[in-house]
Amino acid sequence: MSGERGGRRVWFNAALGALVIIGAVGAYTSIGSKTQAATVSRTVRAEKGVVLATVSATGNVKAPTELAVNFETGGTLTSVTVQEGQKVTRGQVLATEDSVAAENQVKTAKASLASAQANLQKLLDGMTPREKQQNAVAVEQANASLGNAEKSLAATKSVAKQSTASSTLSLSQAKEQQKVDEAQLASDQADLNKANKDVATAQAAYDAATAQANRDQAAYDSANATLQAAQKQQTADSGDSALHQQEQSQHQTTLSNAKSNLQTAQQTQQSSCSSDPLGAACASATAATASAQSAVNSAQAQVDADTARATEDQKKATANQLAVSDASNAASAAQTALSDSKTEKNTAKSDLTSDENTRDADRTAVDNQKTKLRTDANQVETAQANLGSTEQQNAQSEQNAQTAVVNAQESKKSTVAGNAVKEQSASAADMANAEASVATAEANLATAQTSLDQATLTAPASGTIASIGATVGGTVSGGGTTAASSADSTTGAAASTPLFTLVDLDGLEVEAGFSETDAAKIRIGQAATVGIDALPDEKFAAHVVSIDTLSTVVSNVVTYNVTFQLDNPTAKVKPGMSADVDVIVAQADNAISVSSSAVQTVGNRSTVTVRRKGEDVSVAVVTGIKGDSSTEIVTGLTAGTEVVLPTTTLTSGTGGLPSGLPAGGPPGGLGGLGG
């Protein structure tokens, strides 16, 4: 029914919003571009129904009981009889640990109890003839022990004298060896000093020979370069001379051919001009002869030039031969000098190496001698310590031997006195001690049996195995069963991992932190609604079971933890899940209520504005519960009364919609009329 009324209110609100917009637009159209302000009046009906006030917070699901289950004492895990997620009952076996040590303790305790009981029975029965015989044997043994102790004292004194003399001799020999090694060190040091001087002299000679060899190498390199240059020039000039000779041969052939041509031309001229000196044939032959003569002259000039050049080439060849010879002699001499200087350098190097080897050998000898002296000092110190230790041990041995004699004498006296006591009847004190020993042995046996029983771990309560923290064969710690902290259950962190975590999943709870203002409104037993983040489509009823007395402060924000019992949990809800909690802190049923925005309160006086016959009238009211969106009216209104809400001013601009209206439609909150 309330759903139908809500639907009618939504429809009516939409219609009213449309009318307001139409009126505003009409006013704006009639005014034009002038700026105008319009006041929108809104009303709602006072309704009868339920007024709820709630507070909300977030938290986590937790188990009401979470136990860390361990053995009482640590040991090696030998078996695990349950699995994670398995439900167990109180007293059910969960695991066992190695019980060999506990079993041995039980056996030992039983043996001790039997011994104590036998001693008590012995006191009750008194001394037997066999025990009297044993007493006589004990006296004989005491006499023998005294004789042995006296002999041992005499032998100890003799051995002490010999060991002291031996230690004294060892100390004397160590000191003598130290003096001999000190003298040898002085001799080795003198040899080392001389070897150092010899190395310095050989180094200087080697450095000088190296410098001379370097200079001779440079001279040889220069002479060799000069020889190579002379040989290169000789080769080049020889090639030029061969080329010139080839050209001269060619020019000689040309000259020979020119002379032959001239002779032929002269014969032709003589023949032509003898018959007709003025004829054309004569003139042509004369010109041919002149041309042949010119060719002969040109070829002759070339041959003459070749002859002059051949003479020049011969001079160069002679000069080159001399230069090569001189450079070769110089290079040979430089090479000989270089060979000699290298020989001297190698000799100097050999001398230097020999001196360095001698020096190194002397240095090694000095180092070895120093090491030996340190060894000698240690041996002297050790011999001195051995002598002191020997004297101390001898004194201690003599004292121990003397003490052994005294102890043997006292033991004999004690044996004789003990025999006399044994022959007497048991005293009340002895009986009391024997009985106390039996009681102690019985208590030890009970303790050992308890430790053996604790090697089997049973469930301390019914619940579900949430985790298993070890595997068979591993070492587990003790500590017994303790309650897991809430911080561990919500964050999953723990200082140490228990062998089993046992939780009660049949009564899950939610713990949430509320602000100090909201926490003051919460009471034990109040109803709540829980939403689980992992289950968005489900809601769970709950009620308050506890409120923390002490606050929790995080980043200067004060909260109080409140615990809620889930009334209808399902298997899908798990400890640690995030949850949202809404708590009903106040509720008024069948109450008259209006929107909280319609109530105006000044001091202790509250009023609402009602509309009667078209006029708005202020009416005094008495308010009750202020809910999340509405306020209870105890007196002053009746259901159906039309109540005026705060007005909204709409301002029109120079164009478009009035500026007081949102672009998407009429102002919100226009609904609520009717009922």
pLDDT tens, residue by residue, 539-574: 999 999 999 999 999 899 999 999 999 998 888 898
Residue 477: the pLDDT is 83
Residue 592: the pLDDT is 94
* pLDDT mean across residues, the chain: 83
Output the 3-class SS for 366-393: HHHHHHHHHHHHHHHHHHHHHHHHHHHH
Spell out the residues 6+ positions from residue 302 whose beta carbon is closer than 8 angstroms to its own: 251, 254, 255
| Distance between CA atoms of residues 667 and 21, nearest Å | 9
Pairing state between β 605-612 and 552-554 = unpaired
Residue 67: the pLDDT is 85
Residue 425: the pLDDT is 65
Residue 126: the pLDDT is 66
- Note the Cα 557 to chain centre separation in Å: 35
- Name the least confident of 222-236, 512-526, 653-667: 653-667
Spell out the residues 6+ positions from residue 327 whose beta carbon is closer than 8 angstroms to its own: 223, 226, 227, 229, 230, 231
Task: Give the pLDDT band of residue 643 (cuts 50, 70, 90).
Answer: very high
| Distance between CA atoms of residues 223 and 331, nearest Å | 5
| Distance between CA atoms of residues 67 and 77, nearest Å | 19
Q: Which residues pair with 594 in a beta bridge?
A: 631
| Distance between CA atoms of residues 221 and 335, nearest Å | 9
Residue % of the chain over a pLDDT of 70: 86
Pairing state between β 456-458 and 93-97 = antiparallel
pLDDT tens-digit series, residues 346-362: 998 999 999 999 999 99
Tokens 């919609």 -> residue = 657
- Name the least confident of 202-206, 259-263, 413-417, 663-667: 663-667
pLDDT tens-digit series, residues 571-618: 889 888 999 999 988 888 999 999 989 899 999 999 999 999 889 999
Residue 472: the pLDDT is 87
Tell me the two tokens of residue 385.
């310590």
Residue % of the chain over a pLDDT of 90: 41
Whether the pLDDT of residue 301 is over 80: the answer is: yes
Residue 653: the pLDDT is 52
Is residue 587 within 8 Å of residue 551, measured between CB atoms? no
Tell me the two tokens of residue 169.
């001799």
Is residue 617 within 8 Å of residue 610, measured between CB atoms? yes
Spell out the residues 6+ positions from residue 532 whose beta carbon is closer than 8 angstroms to its own: 61, 538, 540, 573, 577, 578, 579
Residue 421: the pLDDT is 65
Spell out the residues 6+ positions from residue 441 whose beta carbon is closer than 8 angstroms to its own: 109, 112, 113, 115, 116, 117
Q: What is the phi/psi pair of residue 64, to 5°?
A: -70, -30
Residue 652: the pLDDT is 54
Residue 620: the pLDDT is 93
pLDDT tens-digit series, residues 90-109: 888 989 988 888 889 889 98
Task: Give the pLDDT band of residue 487 (cuts 50, 70, 90).
Answer: very low
To the question of pTM greater than 0.75 for the whole model, the response is: no
Average pLDDT over every residue of 199-218: 92
- Angle between helices 129-275 and 280-422 in degrees, nearest 10: 180
Encode 498-530: b = buried (16+ Cβ within 10 Å), e = exposed: bbbbbbbbeebbbbbbbeeebbeebeeebbbbb
Portions of the chain given CATH number 1.10.287: 99-126+425-454
Task: Give the pLDDT band of residue 153 (cuts 50, 70, 90).
Answer: confident
Residue 656: the pLDDT is 44
Helix and strand counts by DSSP (H, E) for the chain: 7, 22
- Name the least confident of 334-338, 419-423, 523-527, 566-570: 419-423
Task: Give the pLDDT band of residue 416 (cuts 50, 70, 90).
Answer: confident
pLDDT tens-digit series, residues 36-57: 556 667 899 999 999 888 999 9
Give the fold, CATH level 3, of 99-126+425-454. Helix Hairpins (1.10.287)
Q: Of the candidates 61, 28, 11, 85, which has an alpha carbon nearest to the alpha carbon of residue 542?
A: 61
Whether the pLDDT of residue 657 is over 60: the answer is: no
Residue 664: the pLDDT is 36
| Distance between CA atoms of residues 420 and 417, nearest Å | 5
Task: Give the pLDDT band of residue 314 (cuts 50, 70, 90).
Answer: very high
Higher pLDDT, 661 or 314: 314
Q: What is the phi/psi pair of residue 493, to 5°?
A: -95, 150
Is residue 334 within 8 Å of residue 255, measured between CB atoms? no
Residue 661: the pLDDT is 40
